[in-house]
Structure 1
Amino acid sequence: SDVAKVPRAVCMISNTTAIAEAWARLDHKFDL
């Protein structure tokens, strides 16, 4: 079951970075 946890952690990390990039673009677009 430990093997299944690794891809899930990688997926969560990549999702977090994608969300952070999206917020950075929104901030830049709207000058928040």
Structure 2
Amino acid sequence: MNEDSKQKLQSVVKNQWDPSSAITQFLAIE
């Protein structure tokens, strides 16, 4: 994972912790 992807994932987590959304974002990054 590159830094930009990490920042995007962190933004999702900070803005609204929704497990399914976070997992979807993580899988999309991968």
- What is the TM-score of this pair, normalised by structure 2? 0.45
Larger helix percent: 1
- More relative contact order in 1 or in 2 (CA 8 Å, sep 6+)? 2
